[in-house]
């Protein structure tokens, strides 16, 4: 009961408050943009060759405002927004009218989830393991080599790294394709061939994310480990004659993992914003370009849909990690 009152309840209140404030902000901010989705749509219609005299334009503006649900006061729109949200409906995309926002997200999400979930977890795992040991055994040669790699790759602009990989492995040595999620003209089926094709197309985008991701975690972990290893309990363990491998694993890395776990929760939540540059460089499908286009075209509903999901996932991940924290850190349990 004490756990619920002192630990769970305050966190749940904060959880719902953050979601409420976040989603309300997501509702308001796009409406402050100078981009008008109706005019953007009309511009697109003109780009499709539609010649409209001003009378037709005015009629179209009114029709689109009606269809987009942009008529009525801001408070009416806000209430309707929450009503729809509780049903898991973000309404139609303005730019890709009348396709529902959820349909668009569902189309792109599997690509993003598969790519980013894998690369986030793998880079977190490898980066922390390597960083942990390199931090503890900082005088070893392999640790220094890893450090040099990190110093070269970590500050490299991601775009340059990605483009470099693409030029090297898709142009100079054309081992991997220049872009796309799978081969042009191919129809996706449940087969080994499809799986291999998907894997081959995902390889370079994944490699670029892994390289950056691993060394980001590596450097962060190494710094934390170097700080932890000077703590008194580590000194005592060393004096006590415990083997250095065991000290690294059980004493140092375990303690240094705590901030990294919070970092992982945040990274997992950010998956839902997609990886825009990766998608652009490798012409890879995903939520990044969807989000970018929604901002660019003033597609409020789509923008709200993606960011609201992102808010939900980030806050939920943090809540879950927060609730699991006592399992990792006994000090939290004892409080």
Residues that bind another protein (CB under 8 A): 33-36, 39, 41, 43-54, 56-57, 59-61, 63-64, 66-67, 93, 95-99, 104, 107-108, 111, 163, 166-167, 170-171, 173-175, 177-188, 280-281, 283-285, 289-290, 293, 296
**What whole-number distance in Å separates Cα of residue 239 and Cα of residue 256?**
20
Angle at 222 between CA 219 and CA 224, to 5 degrees: 110
Q: Between 62 and 231, whose beta carbon lies closer to another protein?
A: 62
Q: Between 20 and 171, whose beta carbon lies closer to another protein?
A: 171
Residue 57: exposure state from Cβ atoms within 10 A (0-12, 13-18, ≥19): middle
Please state the closest distance from residue 176 (CB atom) to another protein, in A.
8
Q: What is the DSSP string of 233-246?
A: HHHHHHHTT--HHH
Q: Between 24 and 63, whose beta carbon lies closer to another protein?
A: 63
**What whole-number distance in Å separates Cα of residue 33 and Cα of residue 163?**
32
Q: Between 195 and 236, whose beta carbon lies closer to another protein?
A: 195
**What whole-number distance in Å separates Cα of residue 27 and Cα of residue 22?**
9
Please state the closest distance from residue 243 (CB atom) to another protein, in A.
38
Please state the closest distance from residue 107 (CB atom) to another protein, in A.
7
Q: Between 57 and 316, whose beta carbon lies closer to another protein?
A: 57
Q: Between 21 and 39, whose beta carbon lies closer to another protein?
A: 39
E strands present in 195-237? none
Residue 188's alpha-carbon distances to 109, 155, 200, 279, 317, in angstroms, are 17, 38, 14, 20, 32
- Angle at which helix 101-112 crosses helix 300-328, to 10 degrees, equals 50
- Under 8 Å between Cβ of 131 and 221: yes
Please state the closest distance from residue 64 (CB atom) to another protein, in A.
8
**What whole-number distance in Å separates Cα of residue 175 and Cα of residue 33?**
44
Please state the closest distance from residue 271 (CB atom) to another protein, in A.
17
Please state the closest distance from residue 203 (CB atom) to another protein, in A.
12
Please state the closest distance from residue 212 (CB atom) to another protein, in A.
20
- Under 8 Å between Cβ of 215 and 121: no
Which two tokens mark 108? 């792109």
Q: Between 43 and 245, whose beta carbon lies closer to another protein?
A: 43
- Under 8 Å between Cβ of 286 and 274: yes
How many CA atoms lie less than 13 Å away from 212 in the CB half-sphere?
Answer: 19
């Amino acid at each position: 009961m004490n756990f619920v009152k002192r630990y769970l309840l305050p966190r749940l209140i904060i959880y719902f408050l953050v979601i409420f404030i976040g989603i309300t902000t997501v509702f308001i901010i796009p409406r402050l943009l100078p981009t008008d989705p109706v005019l953007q749509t009309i511009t697109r219609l003109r780009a499709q060759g539609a010649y409209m005299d001003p009378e037709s334009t005015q009629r179209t503006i009114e029709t689109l405002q009606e269809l987009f649900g942009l008529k009525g006061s801001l408070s009416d729109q806000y209430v309707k927004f929450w009503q729809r949200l509780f049903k898991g409906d973000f309404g139609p995309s303005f730019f890709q009218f009348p396709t529902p926002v959820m349909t668009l997200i569902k189309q792109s999400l599997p690509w993003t989830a598969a790519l980013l979930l894998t690369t986030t977890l793998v880079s977190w795992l490898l980066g922390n393991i390597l960083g942990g040991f390199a931090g503890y055994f900082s005088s070893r040669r392999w640790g220094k080599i890893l450090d040099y790699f990190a110093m070269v790759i970590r500050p490299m602009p991601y775009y340059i790294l990605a483009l470099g990989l693409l030029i090297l492995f898709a142009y100079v040595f054309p081992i991997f394709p220049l872009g796309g999620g799978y081969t042009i003209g191919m129809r996706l089926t449940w087969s080994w061939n499809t799986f291999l094709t998907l894997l081959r197309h995902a390889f370079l985008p994944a490699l670029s994310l892994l390289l950056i991701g691993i060394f980001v975690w590596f450097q962060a972990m190494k710094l934390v480990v170097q700080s932890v290893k000077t703590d008194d309990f580590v000194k005592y363990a060393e004096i006590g004659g415990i083997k250095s491998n065991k000290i690294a694993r059980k004493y140092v890395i375990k303690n240094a993992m705590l901030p990294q776990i919070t970092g992982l929760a945040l990274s997992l939540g950010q998956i839902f914003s997609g990886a825009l540059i990766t998608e652009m460089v490798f012409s890879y499908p995903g939520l990044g370009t969807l989000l970018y286009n929604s901002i660019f075209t003033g597609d409020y509903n789509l923008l709200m849909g993606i960011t609201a999901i992102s808010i939900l996932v980030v806050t939920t991940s943090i809540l879950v990690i927060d609730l699991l924290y006592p399992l990792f850190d006994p000090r939290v349990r004892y409080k």
